Amino acid sequence: MTPTPRRLDLGVGLIALGAVDVVWPDIADLVDVVEVEPQTLWQGAHGVRRRIAEEPLAWLRGLDRPLLSHGVGFPVGGTTPPDPDGVAASARSALDLDAVHWSEHLAFNRAGDRFAGFLLPPIQTLEAVDAAARHIATYQERLDRPFLVETPTNYLQPVAGDLRDGEYVASVTEAADCGILLDLHNIWTNERNGRQRVDDYLDDLPLGRVQELHLAGGFETAGFYLDAHVGGIDPVLLELAAAVVPRLPSLRAIIFEAVPQSVAVLGADGLRDVLTSLHALAEIPPLPASPPGRGPGVAAARVVATPRRRTADREAELLAYTTRASDDLEMRDPGADLIRALTDEGRLSLLVADHEEELGRML
């Protein structure tokens, strides 16, 4: 394997997506590090046993690469705590992988006793910041390895009085004293759909906390740009990443995030092209050190001038709408209809996973 220049101690890698083992011999020389979504590999119907199945675990351990654990089931961005058993199982999986660090989404999928079956965007209030910091602490207490939160995708329009996207993430990570998984495709998606500009978002962040960078592909649908993880990386996003990487003094890994369909779309040659472009990013030297600090306005945002609905009520309303338990929304937003459609797809996928054998007998 040709090593990445040691600007990044972990280097360049990709998600251990389905079918990557088929093309592994053709791309292995360009992969320094592998990221694993353990919940997708848990044993039994929809991971009921909550342990990584033996066959994929053995394959991953045999790669002779550093492994990262990236959670996709027990997010930390809501006021309802993540399932304690799920957090414990996620920690156990990270240990099974001997993960260098582990991470979860700054999103929510539960509101009280209701489950969305899809990651929903956080309600960006100070109440939510405090809750997220508590939830992150439950992860940190389970495993003494660096814990990161991923910058979220949000298809909703900004709400007056809420924290800006970047200052919300900054407030959470500083309150929790955790790292940041900067998903540049997520925040570029947010800008393209009418939220905070990427430059302003980055100015709000404590960039010294960024240890991992995600890049991905997407496409436009129904008037939105979708964080779909399909296909290669847009050249505009690569150009943006080239300007961002030098600003990340603690960056350790750059990861290509994709769904299994991308193996078929890109093939081995396409994956090699993507990974080669990430190696070029990894070679960009950091900017000279500057005094630590975060963007302006974060502390000031702690003053909310008008009475506001409880964060939990807003979460419950959004979850009820996106799961079709209700058609009520205080503020109509086309993004909520997109999230509703995506939630339909996510819940259908869970249904299929839970009843794969029964459905197979019916076909």
d(CA 302, CA 168) in angstroms, rounded, equals 10
| Nearest residue to 286 via CA among 213, 236, 232, 199 | 213
| pLDDT at 300 exceeding the cut of 80 | no
H or E stretch covering 126: helix 126-142
Please give the share of the chain, as a percent, with pLDDT higher than 90: 80
Phi-psi region of 46 (alpha: psi -120 to 50; beta: other; left: phi over 0): left
Q: So what's the pLDDT on residue 17?
A: 84
Mean predicted confidence (pLDDT) in 85-102: 98
Residue labelled with tokens 């001997």: 98
Structure tokens at 189: 């998606």
Domains of the chain: 11-306 (3.20.20.150)
Q: Which pLDDT tens digit goes with each residue over 38-88?
A: 999 998 645 567 999 999 999 999 999 999 999 999 999 999 999 999 999
**pTM recorded for the entire structure:** 0.90
| pLDDT at 30 exceeding the cut of 90 | yes
Q: So what's the pLDDT on residue 299?
A: 38
At 303, the pLDDT band (50, 70, 90 cuts) reads very low
Please give the share of the chain, as a percent, with pLDDT higher than 70: 87
Do the Cβ atoms of 136 and 170 come closer than 8 Å?
Answer: no
Q: Which pLDDT tens digit goes with each residue over 129-163?
A: 999 999 999 999 999 999 999 999 999 999 999 99
Q: Which pLDDT tens digit goes with each residue over 157-174?
A: 999 999 999 999 999 999
